[in-house]
């Protein structure tokens, strides 16, 4: 009789299967001898095993949440791998997804202890104060609310768990500091971990994972004291990408290598295209941001495209060097913006004795060209203790495109007064000569109802091209005019590099660092969006200055340092800063010459007279 080779009846096909759901039905009726309670617990074990292997299905079926495809994949990876790192774009919801994983983990693994750490505790508290309540509201079954014991604690100063579950699991938020000790956890979540000190992570936070979760079955003789039954603790790293000098980049490379070696590490980058595809952000809004003239291209690359940034080998200015000089917290604002600030002494910048303020201007007239913008930079210079050097601080930057020379001269006049400046540094080549011509006149400001005096060059007053504009009898010599050449550009590049390396110049701190200060100010939150942007603009312009500098590449030359911007990029902010810094160095030379010229016989002594008797 004909037959099929290797034919099996259905009941034999899966008899050797490992998975509980792959096995065939047990026809020996042994389960009939179990009690109702035993049958219930077997069912709980089966479903718990299944949901632990598929947390995305648990979130949808038990919690009643709707997930995007990428969220399902990431939830699965978070529960499978011991180490997980997400480098995600803004608006993708990495904190929301992490909060979801935390509650799923706490429910499915009773007695789980979760610590969430962030550079600032308020950042980590968002998981507790914003995301978990959001999940509770979205839960269609209402089961998440039933799983949480009592109310969520929002007090940042407490050592008690902020979220407790009825099965003994809990979630706690700590600050990533040396004081964050005496805590134990099975899951460590590092939110915006690039802002956490790597030594704090290694010596403090990672030590929290000292003990594994202890489920009750480990007390049974057949499981007791056996390493293979202990659960592995987990670490989750969340952040957007940053500069390559940051430790997050080294951590990223560690994860990549471990993944390739087959270890239980998982890392992924999630750019803004995923957020658009999943309808989490508005596509048109992002396109508008990309098309703006003042786009922070490096910031966009890191925060939205999920790519780390590092300058090229030819870069003259290094990102890490610039990071070290970002220490100034507050800028000096022009009159209209200063009026927006209410009752805050941090923004009162009275000019100190011996302080010199420079308004350095790189002039352009044509609008629309990415390489053509007028930039006005405020630099403060304060003497050191010996009175022989100046410490520089870049306190504000303004950039404009497509303005008439007369309009630009009026802007310079206003900034000169508002900032209490002593000198103007002006590039007189090209379109700068037209602006100089207007500055040489007396001008009346209709808006401020004020007349400005004529200002002449202090170093090239007799130069024929400039002298043609000198028609006023009353004037002040307040403008230092520059005429860039290969040698001049060489000198200003070397001088600025020296001041950065030796930390004799300081920039404003980053916009992200100061944002939390502003959002906690009541008066700031009452301002319109346009007014808030005006207050944050000096920080944004500083970022754009840094971007210009790190993208300048040194071109080989036998005699001079020559810097060239990349195609389509600009260097207006760099030029404006370099001009002003160089002028302050000239003032420094005068300070040192004056000290050397002091008459030794005019110096005071400890002995006024000598009375010698023989």
The band of 31, judged by pLDDT with boundaries at 50, 70 and 90, is: low
Which residues, 6+ apart, have CB-to-CB distance to 571 below 8 Å? 371, 548, 552, 563, 565
The tens digit of pLDDT for each residue in 498-511 reads 999 999 999 999 88
Question: What pLDDT does residue 11 have?
Answer: 60
Alpha-carbon distance of 556 to 560, in angstroms, equals 9
Alpha-carbon distance of 6 to 230, in angstroms, equals 41
- What's the average model confidence in pLDDT over 414-424? 94
pLDDT at 26 over 60: no
The band of 368, judged by pLDDT with boundaries at 50, 70 and 90, is: very low
Question: What pLDDT does residue 606 have?
Answer: 43
The tens digit of pLDDT for each residue in 214-252 reads 888 888 888 888 888 888 999 999 999 988 888 999 999
The tens digit of pLDDT for each residue in 44-57 reads 888 989 999 999 99
Q: What percent of the chain has pLDDT over 70?
A: 88
Closest by alpha carbon to 198, among 122, 83, 119, 123?
Answer: 119
Pick 348 or 358 by higher pLDDT: 358
Q: Name 328's bridge partners.
A: 508
Alpha-carbon distance of 482 to 489, in angstroms, equals 11
Closest by alpha carbon to 440, among 472, 414, 410?
Answer: 472
Question: What pLDDT does residue 473 have?
Answer: 87
The band of 409, judged by pLDDT with boundaries at 50, 70 and 90, is: very high
Question: What pLDDT does residue 170 have?
Answer: 93
pLDDT at 193 over 80: yes
The tens digit of pLDDT for each residue in 295-345 reads 778 888 888 989 998 877 788 999 889 989 999 999 999 989 988 887 667
The tens digit of pLDDT for each residue in 470-495 reads 988 899 999 999 988 899 999 999 99
What are the φ and ψ backbone dihedral angles of 268, each rounded to 5 degrees?
-150, 150
Alpha-carbon distance of 472 to 474, in angstroms, equals 6
Alpha-carbon distance of 315 to 603, in angstroms, equals 48
Mean of the per-residue pLDDT values for the chain? 86
So what CATH class is 44-215+231-277? Answer: alpha beta
pLDDT at 611 over 70: no
CB 210 within 8 A of CB 183: no
Question: What pLDDT does residue 16 have?
Answer: 60
- 319-594 carries CATH number 3.40.710.10: no
Which tokens hold the place of 6? 């290797």
Alpha-carbon distance of 119 to 123, in angstroms, equals 7
In the chain, where are the structural domains located?
Answer: 44-215+231-277, 319-594
Closest by alpha carbon to 359, among 376, 374, 373?
Answer: 376
């Amino acid at each position: 009789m004909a037959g099929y080779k290797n034919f099996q009846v259905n009941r034999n096909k899966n008899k050797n299967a490992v998975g509980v759901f792959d096995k065939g039905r047990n026809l020996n009726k042994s389960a009939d001898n179990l009690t109702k309670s035993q049958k219930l617990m077997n069912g709980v074990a089966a479903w718990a095993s299944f949901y632990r292997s598929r947390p995305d299905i648990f979130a949808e079926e038990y919690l009643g949440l709707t997930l995007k495809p990428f969220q399902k994949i990431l939830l699965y990876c978070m529960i499978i791998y011991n180490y997980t790192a997400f480098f995600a774009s803004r608006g993708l919801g990495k904190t929301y997804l992490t909060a979801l994983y935390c509650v799923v983990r706490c429910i499915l693994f009773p007695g789980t202890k979760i610590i969430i750490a962030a550079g600032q505790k308020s950042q980590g508290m968002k998981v507790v104060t914003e995301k978990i309540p959001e999940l509770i509201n979205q839960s269609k079954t209402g089961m998440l609310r039933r799983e949480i014991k009592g109310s969520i604690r929002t007090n940042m100063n407490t050592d008690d768990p902020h979220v407790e579950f009825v099965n003994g699991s809990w979630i706690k938020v700590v600050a990533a500091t040396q004081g964050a000790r005496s805590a134990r956890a099975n899951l460590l979540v590092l939110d915006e971990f690039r802002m956490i000190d790597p030594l704090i992570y290694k010596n403090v936070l990672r030590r929290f994972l000292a003990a594994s979760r202890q489920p009750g079955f480990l007390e049974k003789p057949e499981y007791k004291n056996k390493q293979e039954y202990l659960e592995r603790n987990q670490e989750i790293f969340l952040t957007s990408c940053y500069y390559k000098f940051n430790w997050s980049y080294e951590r990223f490379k560690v994860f990549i290598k471990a993944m390739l070696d087959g270890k239980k590490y998982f890392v992924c980058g999630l750019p803004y295209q995923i957020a658009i595809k999943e309808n989490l952000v508005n596509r048109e809004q992002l396109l508008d941001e990309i098309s703006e003239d003042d786009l922070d291209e490096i910031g966009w690359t890191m925060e939205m495209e999920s790519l780390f940034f590092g300058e090229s080998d030819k870069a003259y200015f290094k990102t890490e060097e610039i990071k070290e000089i970002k220490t100034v917290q507050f800028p000096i604002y022009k009159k209209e913006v200063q009026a927006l600030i209410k009752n805050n002494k941090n923004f009162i910048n009275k000019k100190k004795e011996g302080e010199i303020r420079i308004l350095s201007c790189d002039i352009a007239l044509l609008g629309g060209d990415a390489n053509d913008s007028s930039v006005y930079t405020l630099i403060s210079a304060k003497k050191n203790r010996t009175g022989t050097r100046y410490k520089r601080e870049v306190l504000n930057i303004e950039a404009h495109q497509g303005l008439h020379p007369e309009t630009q001269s009026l802007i310079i006049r206003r900034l000169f007064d508002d900032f209490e400046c002593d000198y103007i540094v002006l590039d007189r080549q090209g379109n700068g000569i037209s602006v100089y011509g207007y500055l040489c006149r007396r001008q009346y400001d209709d808006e401020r109802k004020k007349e400005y005096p004529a200002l002449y060059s202090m170093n090239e007053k007799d130069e024929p091209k400039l002298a043609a504009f000198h028609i006023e009898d009353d004037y002040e010599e307040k403008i230092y005019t520059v005429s860039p050449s290969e040698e001049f550009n060489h000198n200003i590049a070397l001088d600025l590099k020296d001041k950065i390396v030796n930390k004799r110049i300081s920039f404003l701190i980053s916009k992200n660092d100061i944002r939390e200060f502003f959002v906690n100010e009541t008066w700031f939150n009452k301002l319109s969006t346009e007014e808030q942007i005006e207050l944050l603009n000096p920080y944004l312009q500083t970022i754009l200055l840094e971007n210009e500098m790190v993208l300048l590449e040194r071109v080989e030359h036998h005699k001079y340092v020559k810097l060239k911007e990349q195609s389509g990029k600009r260097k207006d902010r760099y030029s404006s800063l370099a001009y002003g810094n160089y002028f302050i160095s000239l003032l420094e030379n005068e300070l040192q010459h004056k000290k050397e010229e002091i008459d030794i016989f005019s110096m005071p002594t400890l002995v006024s007279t000598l009375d010698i008797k023989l």
